[in-house]
């Protein structure tokens, strides 16, 4: 069964304190792994797509990496405005574009 | 920047009533989706829609649910007889090429069933 597990569930950092979020996945034939940011009461906002092991993508203070079993979202020198829930998702084994989401990591960055 | 828009942002309805949630996907996208998120829980897939038909639906998407693309721009989710447990955020999403490209989400409709 296709599955996505994220850890930790919650993370509190001081401003400037770098860390990583983990996303483990089980899917037959990965077609894409996606990172989204979700602010309270809002829809997921697309951040990155990763397609193959070894691939890396960067955007400002965020860098996403991918291995055959997991993905990491590295946050370098975070700021309070990076506080949000970060969601990881994979395309399911079916070919319909269905996304399977993890439960998310809620990040709080204190000034 | 193109975006997915959803209306209304919040809907309160009585149990047993029908509701229609509306979405305008990004104009050149061909694949459309509905997801829901119960408070404090994961984002869950409901249905995918391509070429004017449902391509996949989840176990949640039972006979009470239906989707329609009534014209060239709108995509709707109808719940025929709402239950208390239908209370959730409902997100519409669209993508250019289905299982190859990323999906972009709307801001959601918060449905409260009383």
One DSSP character per residue, B23-64 reads: EE--TT--EEEEEEE-TTS-EEEEEEEETTEEEEE-TT--TT
Averaged pLDDT score across all residues of chain A: 95
Q: What pLDDT was estimated at residue B56? A: 95
DSSP state of A42: S
Mean pLDDT across chain B, nearest whole number?
Answer: 95
Q: What is the pLDDT of residue B82?
A: 98
pLDDT, tens only, A15-52? 999 999 999 999 888 889 999 999 999 999 999 999 99
- List chain A residues with CB under 8 Å of B4: 43
B105 and A104 in contact by Cβ < 8 A? Answer: no
**CA–CA gap between residue B37 and residue B17 (Å, rounded):** 20
Residue B6: per-residue pLDDT: 98
HSE of A22 in the Cβ direction (CA atoms, 13 Å)? Answer: 7
Specify the pLDDT at position A93.
79
Average pLDDT over residues B64-68: 97
Residues of chain B above pLDDT 90, percent: 89
Task: Write the pLDDT tens digit of every residue in B4-58.
Answer: 999 999 999 999 999 999 999 999 999 999 999 999 999 999 999 999 999 999 9
The arithmetic mean of pLDDT across residues A73-95, rounded, is: 94
| Bridge partners, A28 (sequence order) | none
Report the gap between the CA of A35 and the closest CA in chain B (Å): 10
Q: Is the pLDDT of residue A84 over 90?
A: yes
- Name the minimum distance, in Å, from the CA of A21 to any CA of chain B: 17
SS3 A103: coil
- pLDDT tier, A1 (very low <50, low <70, confident <90, very high otherwise): confident
Q: How confident is the model over B68-112, as pLDDT tens digits?
A: 998 888 999 999 999 999 999 999 999 998 777 899 999 999 999
What pLDDT is recorded for position B70? 87
With a pLDDT cut of 90, the percent of chain A lying above it is 87
Are A46 and B45 inside 8 Å of each other by CB?
A: no
Across the interface, of B4, B41, B56, the residue whose CB is closest to A96 is: B56
CA of B86: how far to CAs of A92, A102, B80, B111, in Å? 24, 21, 11, 8
Within 8 A of A84 by CB-CB distance, chain B residues are none
**Which chain B residues have a beta carbon less than 8 Å from that of A92?**
45
Contacts of A71 (CB under 8 A, 6+ apart): A22, A23, A25, A33, A35, A50, A64, A65, A88
Q: What is the DSSP letter of B16?
A: T
pLDDT of residue A107: 98
């Amino acid at each position: 069964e296709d599955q996505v597990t994220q850890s930790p569930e919650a993370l509190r950092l001081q401003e400037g304190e770098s860390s990583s979020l983990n996303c483990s996945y089980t899917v037959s034939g990965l077609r894409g792994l996606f990172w989204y940011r979700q602010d309270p009461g809002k829809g997921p906002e697309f951040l990155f797509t990763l397609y193959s092991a070894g691939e890396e993508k960067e955007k400002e203070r965020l860098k996403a990496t991918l291995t055959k079993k997991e993905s990491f979202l590295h946050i370098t020198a975070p700021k309070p405005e990076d506080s949000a829930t970060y969601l990881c998702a994979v395309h399911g084994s079916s070919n319909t574009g269905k996304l399977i989401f993890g439960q998310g990591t809620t990040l709080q960055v204190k000034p | 920047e193109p975006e997915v828009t959803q209306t209304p942002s919040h809907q309160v309805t009585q149990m047993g009533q029908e509701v229609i949630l509306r979405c305008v996907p990004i104009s050149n996208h061909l694949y459309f989706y509905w997801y829901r998120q119960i408070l404090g829980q994961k984002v869950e897939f409901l249905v995918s829609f391509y070429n004017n038909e449902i391509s996949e639906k989840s176990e949640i998407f039972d006979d009470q649910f239906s989707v329609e693309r009534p014209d060239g721009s709108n995509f709707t989710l109808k719940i025929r007889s709402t239950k208390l447990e239908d209370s959730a955020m409902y997100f519409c999403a669209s993508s250019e090429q289905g299982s190859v490209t990323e999906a972009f989400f709307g801001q959601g409709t918060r449905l409260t069933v009383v």
